[in-house]
Every structure is written in structure tokens, then in C-alpha cells.
A and B are shown apart, each in its own frame.
Chain A
Amino acid sequence: MLTNKHLKYESQKIGMNYFRVAIVLFGAQLLFGLVCAIQYLWPGFLFETLDFNIARILHINALVVWMLFAMLGSVYYLLPDEAGRDVVGAGLGKLGFWVLTAAVTVVVLVYLFIQIGPGKESTIWFINEGREYIEAPRWADIGIVAIVLIFYYNVFFTYIKGRQTGILTVLVADLLALAGLYLAGVFFTDNISMDQFWWWWVIHLWVEATWEVFVGALAAYGLIKILGAKREIVEMWLWIEVLLLFGSGILGLGHHYFWIGTPEYWWEIGALFSSLEPVPLVAMFVHVLYDWGKEQGHKEAVEGEGAHAVSNSPAMAWIALNAFGNFLGAGIWGFFHTLPQVNIYTHGTQFTAAHGHLAFFGAYATILIAMMYLGVQGAYGIKKMTMTFKSKMAIGLITFGVIGMTVALTIAGYEQVLVERAELGAGWDAYFIAQNLTWMKQAMGWRLVMGVITFIGFVYLLWDLVTIGEVEEAKEANELQSAVA
């Protein structure tokens, strides 16, 4: 992860820079998540030093930002491969990277040390916007828009001047929507319903529409790169996925409009379209496994048993995990509570947290980690990258940890829904009765344990990303030497 020595294109070097910052921010996300998990059990922990709201801002903002960094990194990395040429504005791209990294550093330092401000416009502009996931102050919003414009300029003109593959066509269209949607989150209103209405345009239309299509494009690239899958098949699947994802996800937005002051017709629209949202995720799962099996079978038929179609097994493992995790976390855990008849009880409970953890991990973290492994392979010029012990520990512990957290939070969610909402009918008193039950505390205890396991897995992941390149490079050199001898 620390070298670019075999990378021919400037674009890929920029991509690697984004990956490096992303993995650090991923670590920060987990650390602040642990702080929050500890505070659920021992509310006095860091009380009035790093309160829950600040720790959570850091937890969820680090999540969004590391994913955006890794997404930008992935696009810069795959761009020359797809377009068949280097990025048009490498200098501009580098500048954008450094400005964005500096801006993120300032935002994080302000969150940590200034935290909150007085109830004035200046707080919204310079400290904290106080809107979940997009808390970054207004100056940073404007900065992000400027950097994204540079990025989009680079992608668009590289695409126009280079090879216009199906994967790039999807990405060029998707990134425009993704960037444009951010603008729906950059304004202030006194009307909390209007606020949340547009806020969901950013959050939902990112994570349940444009980000999912982005993942489809990355998986398509990964399958071609890792398995040598046939481009025509992969790209045809990609268009089917776009159809299903946008066809269900855009109006699936309705499932956030059940209870925020918006009209009742969203009950039916939200229920119908969000029930369809798991369908493309099944399609993606089938597609990845189908291609894997097909290419492996083909390879064995040609080269005999023992031959492997996979040229990067850690990346392939994470992509396969993505296919399954996306379906399970976003699809199944999302469908659990998407119908209004259920959602009236589950809305705003730990159920949502359970879904959030598994969905963000399964749908996004996994494939972005796969892209980082592809980056390492390219940077060290490795032909066939295999898993090390550390790769296996990383994938095993992180997956076990996240699923464990999800199960614990689901149990906490059930308890909260049944006791606080169904039995006691919501409100302050009902909330605290449910929070103080042993069932909730046990679940939160397990969540912390599983969070620690996830973090240990992360340490292995970081260690592996830093060292696997040299290990595998040396292994290939040895094999080559012994073959020559």
C-alpha cells in the first residue's frame, strides 16, 4: 500500500493516495464507534469531554468520508484501465486530493476540539451543521462541491477522449447524479419536515440508489480484472442492475416519508418500491457467483484441476462477501422494517442501527476494501495475489464482528420495539424503561464485544494492506527464480 512503483498512470497514483487516507479514516470510524458503544454501557465515559453526540458525529462522518475517499480512489484507479489512457488533468486531480484531505483534517479537528457552537448561522457555517451524516459545516460543503467538480471534470473528459466502455458510461452518469444530489443537503430551513424531506434526497438517493449503482460498476470492473470475465456479459448484467436498482431505489425513497409530516400516499409508494429493492441485490449476488463459477470451470477445463481463475484472491473474497453482504444487510435487514405497518414501531429504534451497520459494511465497505487490494496488486506489479494469514484474519474477524454487532443490535431493537413502542407507547419514560432492561444491556454488551473483534480485524486488515504487496512480490520473484533454475 505504501508504494506506487509499478503504476504506469498518474490517475492510479492519485487513486492510491485516496485509498491511503480512506483506510486511516476507516480506523477512526471504528475507534469512535467503540467510544459510543462504551457510552451505552457506562454513560460516564468521557462525559462532557467527548459526549455521545460528538463521538457519533465522528463515527458516522468518518464512515461517509472514508467511503467517499475510497470511491474517488477506485474511480481514479480504474479510469486508465477502462478508458485506455491516463486521466486528462493529473495535476488538478492531485491538487484536489490534497485540498480535500486538508479540508477533512480541519473539519475533524473542529469536531474534536470545538464540537458545538451557539445557536447562530456562524455555527452552521464554521463548526457543525447538525444534520445527521452531513454535519460538515457549510464552508466544507462548498469545498466538497468544488473538489467534486474537479473530479467530475477529470472523469468526464477522460471518458470522452478515451475508450467509452459500458462500465464508464454507467459511472459517468451515476457520478453526475451522486454529486448533484449533495446540493439537496446544502441549505437551511426552519421547517423540520422540509429539512428532513430534502435531507433524505441526499442520504437515501446516495446509499439506496447512486452508491448501489456505483458498487455494481465496481463489481463489474473487479470481475473483469480478477477473473477475466467476458466484458459483454458483465456489462449486460450491469445495465440490468442499473434498471432494477434505479427502478426500485428512486421511488423506494418513499419509505423515509411515512412519519416526517409528509402525506399518507407515501405509505403505499414507499412500501411497494422498497419491497422491490432487494431484487437487484439478489441479481448482483447471482451474477458474481455465476461469473466466478463459470470462469473457474473454464480455467479447469483448459488447464486441468488445480488451476485458479482468480488473479487476486483477497479482492475476490471481499467482492463475494460484498455480493452476499449487500443482499443480507441492505436487502433482508432493510426489508425487515420497511413496511409502514412494521415501521411505525421500528422507526427510530436500534433496529435501524442494526440495518445500518450490516448494510454499510456489506454493500460498501467490502467492495471498497476489494478495490484497495486491487490497488496493492497493481502497485507491486503482482500477477497472482493470494491470501496471507493476515488477509484471512482480517476478513474473518471483521465479518464475524459486524454480523455479531448486527445480531446484538437487532435483539436490542426487538426489545425496544416491543417494550418501549408496543407495550408502553413511546415517550420519555417508556424510552428509559426499555433502555434500562437487562435485555437491552446484554445486547449492548455483546455489541461492544463484537465491536472490539471488528477493530482487531481492522488491525489485521491495515497490517495486511501495508505488507501483502512485498510478501507476494517476493513470493512471485522466488517462484520465477526456482522456475528458471
Chain B
Amino acid sequence: MSNKSASVWTSIRFWRRSAAWVTATAVVLLMWLTFDTVKQISMGSDEDLKKGIRKRIPAPTVINYHIDYKFSKKRGHEVPVIGQKEPFFGKEWSPKEAAALLHKGKLTFQAKACIDCHTALGNGAYYAPDLTKAWLDPKWNNGTMTAMIGKKTKEEAMAEFLMHPDKYPTHGRMMPNLHITKDEAIALVAFLKHMSSIDTNGFPRNFSINAKRLKGGTNAH
């Protein structure tokens, strides 16, 4: 056990050195991977979007485009597909406006502690639905919620719901009124739309089954 041990396996010095080397190697590998990952998960630019270059996390101006989530044969799971331009709250947002909107949306998302009921990208609490692809959720797409709230577009319906969730209860477990202002609600919807465009390697899996099921009206409660 002492430094002059009979065997290396019972030498403290050997294990101490091994621990230091293994830890250092793991740290160096982590650093190297971190540099690569941080580069890959930095937001793309508006130019990328215009040229059709796919980034894992697109620019805030992705809110000006139609977003879908489709099965990719090559990758073996669903991936976000950025399509044609579509107005968001009736207009096209400049890169500066879109960035400011996303900033406010993310701030509001944190200020209202959304993640302590919901999950985002699967992380958070499990008391309310995952928001990763909320923008694409068929409940909003096929008009169920949109019709109930009485708005023409999905984004307007979502914003209205966020401002007055207590007026539109869907289940016994309902969202409390968090005193979200109209500006904050628009920003939150932008944040959700942006999040739905993030390439999450196919999470949540089989999301499109959901869309088919709800359209067909089978299997519903």
C-alpha cells in the first residue's frame, strides 16, 4: 500500500497517477468535442436560410418560413423541413426584428418558469406536454384549438391561448394564467416556432403518426 509496494496493483502512487491521466484525457476529449459541437449548434444566418443551407439551429428569421417535420429515409427518422415563406402574425420579420422577438421569447420562457411544468427539447418537468415541436402539433394544425379559440391563424390562436389559458381549458390539468402580455405571447410563439425548426435527431420519434391519427379521427378518446 505504501509507495514502495510489492505490486503495482496495490500502489497508491500508481492509482493516483492513473486517475490523473484518465481524468485529463477525458477532459481533453470533452473540450475537443465541445469546440466542434458549439460550432455546429451556433445559430445559422438569414443568408443560410435564403440559400437553403440547413443548420442544426437556424436563424431567428426561420419564423418567416413554413416548417414541417418529415421522415428522412437517409437518416432513418423525422427531420424539420423548412419550406416556402409564410407570414408570421401577418408580416415578414427582418433579421433584426426576428432576433429581438426570439430574445424576448426566450426571456419570457425563462421568466414564467415554463420549464418547471413543460419540457423543451425533452428537458424540464413532466406535468405538461413537451414543447419541442409544439408549433407543429396537429392539435393546432388541423384547427381544433384554433377553431375553439376563434382565430384565423395558428400563431394568433397560440398567442391568445398563452395570454388567457384559463378561458380555454382542455383538461382538468390546465395552464394557469401567467399574466403574459400580448407582446410576450407573440414572442413566445416565435420562440416555439424557432424551436420546432431545430434538428433534434428525430426526437420526439413518430411525431407524424400523431398527425395521421388525428386527421383520421380513429384512436381518439
Contacts and interface: CB of A to CB of B under 8 A. Distances in A.
A300 interface: no
Given A191-B43, A344-B205, A262 B37 contact: yes
A424 B129 CA distance: 14
B201 to A, nearest CB: 6
Contact of A191 (B29, B42, B138, B203): B42
Interface in A35-93: 36, 39-40, 43-44, 47-48, 51-54, 56-57
Contacts of A190: 43, 60, 99, 102-103, 106
Interface string A238-253: 0110110011001101
Interface string A332-363: 00000000000011011110110000000000
Nearest to B220: A429
Interface string A92-108: 00000000000000000
Nearest to B56: A261
B93 to A, nearest CB: 14
Interface string B91-109: 0000000010011111111
B127 A196 contact: no
Chain B contact patch, size range:
35 or more
Interface in A131-190: 131-132, 135, 166, 188-190
B70 to A, nearest CB: 14
Interface in A268-299: 269
A357 B60 CA distance: 37
Given A132-B123, A262-B41, A43 B103 contact: no
Interface in B53-89: 56-57, 60
Binding site secondary structure of chain A: helix
B27 A243 contact: no
Interface in B155-207: 166, 170-174, 176-178, 180-181, 184, 187-188, 191, 195, 198-207
Given A56-B117, A128-B111, A247-B22, A192 B127 contact: no
Given A116-B178, A424-B210, A257 B37 contact: yes
Contacts of B178: 116
B209 interface: yes
A426 B207 contact: yes
A56 B117 CA distance: 8
B207 to A, nearest CB: 5
Contacts of B42: 191, 194
Given A40-B127, A236-B10, A348-B119, A421 B15 contact: no
Contacts of A353: 126
Contact of A56 (B22, B27, B116, B119): B116
Contacts of A116: 111-113, 178
Contact of B205 (A129, A251, A261, A421): A421
Interface stretch (A15-23, A323-331, A372-380, A430-438): A430-438
Contacts of A262: 37, 40-41, 56
A396 interface: no
Contacts of A389: none
Given A116-B178, A263-B37, A435-B173, A56 B127 contact: yes
B188 to A, nearest CB: 8
Nearest to A265: B33
Contacts of A48: 166, 176-177
Interface in A215-259: 230, 232-233, 235-236, 239-240, 242-243, 246-247, 250-251, 253, 256-259
A191 B171 CA distance: 31
A53 B114 contact: yes
A192 B106 CA distance: 8
A257 B33 CA distance: 12
Given A190-B60, A192-B121, A193-B121, A232 B1 contact: yes
Contact of B19 (A131, A230, A242, A260): A242
B122 A260 contact: yes
Given A130-B113, A427-B210, A243 B19 contact: yes
A257 B116 CA distance: 20
Contacts of A166: 12, 16
A5 interface: no
A311 interface: no
Nearest to B110: A130
B184 A119 contact: yes
A196 B121 CA distance: 9
B151 interface: no
B113 A135 contact: yes
Interface of A: 36, 39-40, 43-44, 47-48, 51-54, 56-57, 115-121, 123-124, 127-132, 135, 166, 188-197, 199, 230, 232-233, 235-236, 239-240, 242-243, 246-247, 250-251, 253, 256-267, 269, 344-345, 347-350, 352-353, 416, 421-422, 424-433, 435-436
5 contacts: A53-B112, A194-B41, A246-B23, A424-B219, A436-B221
Given A131-B110, A261-B199, A263-B40, 8 more contacts: A53-B117, A119-B107, A191-B42, A193-B57, A242-B19, A259-B121, A427-B204, A428-B129
8 closest A-B pairs by beta carbon, nearest first, are A119-B108, A130-B110, A425-B209, A259-B203, A348-B122, A53-B116, A232-B1, A426-B204
